[in-house]
């Protein structure tokens, strides 16, 4: 992986796509940016270790969302032997009888939907508990939790900094894609908010104008405000959020991500936004 040259923003990340912003942004003093990294830094650094860890630990993230009043799905914690329901310890069976199906099962430390399961009824729930949770050693290291399922028709990724939303995409399901109850790179395409124009060689020449496929909801400004409050709750300077929206414009923030993949447009938008943030440090 490329290393940063002196005089440039120092990038702390293991993600290969983040190499695109190394040696990109000149700085007058030593300053760094953590993208999913908890590496100590001897100088000023955007995204604290605590903020990155809050974001990577989904249960901790959801606790912070709940405390801050963020619009986020309800969730239920599971241990090796029992569960929590409204703050009370209950048996797995008691929780299962109270759930409104379907529900999603997610790992605390995972990304890109890895390990995520959709549980459609009580019988599937009992099988899931026996196969994945009950007395399983991994449940101590990387516990499953349950999350209420919202069958909203649209999902967006909003990139948020201290200045608000500076870039966004819509995740649109591919025709014939599998696991249509979730959206990731395997079953979705990314629709940018603005129109991308390229020349005959495929080089980007313009990025402006409304993209009709993006289908921005009327509640967008409120969604951005909620995402910014979620960013503050987690403790990050810059990150992104996955948000589901229904036809009425109601939204639910699924999770934060301090280390999103960088494509061509993402690199440009982050580069522009990071210059603004560095000037405020």
Last residue of a domain, one of 116, 148, 180: 148
Residue 240 lies in a domain: yes
Domain boundary pick from 118, 148, 178: 148
Q: Which residues contact 62 (CB under 8 A, 6 or more apart)?
A: 72, 75, 145
Q: Are strands 144-148 and 117-119 parallel, antiparallel or unpaired?
A: unpaired
Q: Is the pLDDT of residue 20 over 70?
A: yes
**Residue 17 φ/ψ, nearest 5 degrees:** -70, -20
The pairing of beta strand 10-12 with beta strand 31-34: parallel
Count of Cβ atoms closer than 10 Å to residue 97 Cβ: 11
Q: Residue 170 sits in a domain of what CATH number?
A: 3.30.470.20
Instruction: Find the radius of gyration of the CA atoms of the chain.
Output: 20
**Widest CA span in the chain:** 62
- Give the CA angle between residues 244, 157, 151 to the nearest 5°: 15
In the predicted model, is pLDDT for residue 127 greater than 90?
Answer: yes
Q: Is 169 part of a structural domain of the chain?
A: yes
Single residue among 122, 148, 174 that ends a domain in this structure: 148
d(CA 236, CA 19): 21
50: phi then psi, degrees, rounded to nearest 5:
-60, -45
Tally Cβ neighbours within 10 Å of residue 204.
Answer: 12
Model confidence at 141: pLDDT above 80: yes
**Do 103 and 210 have their domain in common?**
no
pLDDT of 6 reads 80
Quick check: 1 pLDDT over 60?
no
Residue 67 placed within a domain: no
Please write the tens of the pLDDT for every residue from 56-94: 999 999 999 999 999 999 999 999 999 999 999 999 999
- Residue 198: pLDDT band with limits 50, 70, 90: very high
Residue 2 has pLDDT above 70, yes or no: no
Angle at 120 between CA 114 and CA 122, to 5 degrees: 115
Q: Is residue 45 a contact partner of residue 31, using CB atoms and an 8 Å limit?
A: yes
What domain range includes position 22? 10-47
Is pLDDT above 80 for 176? no
The first and second tokens of residue 21, run together, are 């912003």
Q: What mean pLDDT, rounded, does the chain reach?
A: 94
The tens digit of pLDDT for each residue in 212-235 reads: 999 999 999 999 999 999 999 999
Contacts of residue 274, defined as CB under 8 A and 6 or more positions apart, other chains included, come to 9, 21, 25, 33, 46, 238
């Amino acid at each position: 992986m490329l290393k940063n040259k002196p005089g440039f923003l120092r990038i702390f990340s293991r993600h290969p796509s983040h190499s695109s912003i190394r040696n990109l942004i000149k700085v007058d003093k030593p300053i760094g940016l953590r993208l999913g990294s908890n590496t100590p830094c001897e100088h000023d650094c955007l995204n604290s270790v605590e903020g990155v860890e809050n974001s990577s630990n989904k249960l901790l993230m959801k606790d912070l969302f709940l405390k801050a009043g963020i619009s986020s799905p309800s969730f239920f914690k599971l241990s090796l032997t029992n569960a929590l329901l409204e703050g009370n310890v209950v048996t797995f069976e008691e929780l299962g009888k109270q759930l409104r199906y379907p529900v999603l099962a997610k790992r605390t430390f995972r990304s890109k939907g890895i390990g995520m399961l959709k549980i459609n009824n009580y019988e599937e729930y009992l099988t899931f508990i026996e196969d994945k949770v009950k007395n399983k050693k991994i449940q101590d290291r990387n516990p499953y939790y349950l999350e209420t399922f919202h069958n909203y028709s649209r999902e967006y990724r909003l990139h948020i900094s201290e200045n608000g939303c500076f870039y966004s995409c819509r995740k649109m399901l591919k025709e014939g894609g599998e696991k249509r109850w979730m959206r990731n790179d395997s079953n979705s395409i990314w629709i940018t908010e603005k129109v991308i124009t390229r020349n005959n060689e495929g080089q980007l020449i313009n990025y402006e104008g409304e993209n009709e496929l993006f289908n921005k909801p009327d509640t967008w400004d409120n969604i951005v405000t909620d995402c910014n409050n979620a960013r503050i709750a987690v403790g990050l300077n810059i990150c992104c959020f996955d948000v589901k929206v229904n036809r009425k414009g109601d939204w639910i923030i699924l999770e934060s991500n301090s280390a999103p993949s960088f494509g061509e447009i993402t690199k440009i938008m982050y580069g522009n936004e990071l210059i603004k943030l560095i000037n405020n440090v």
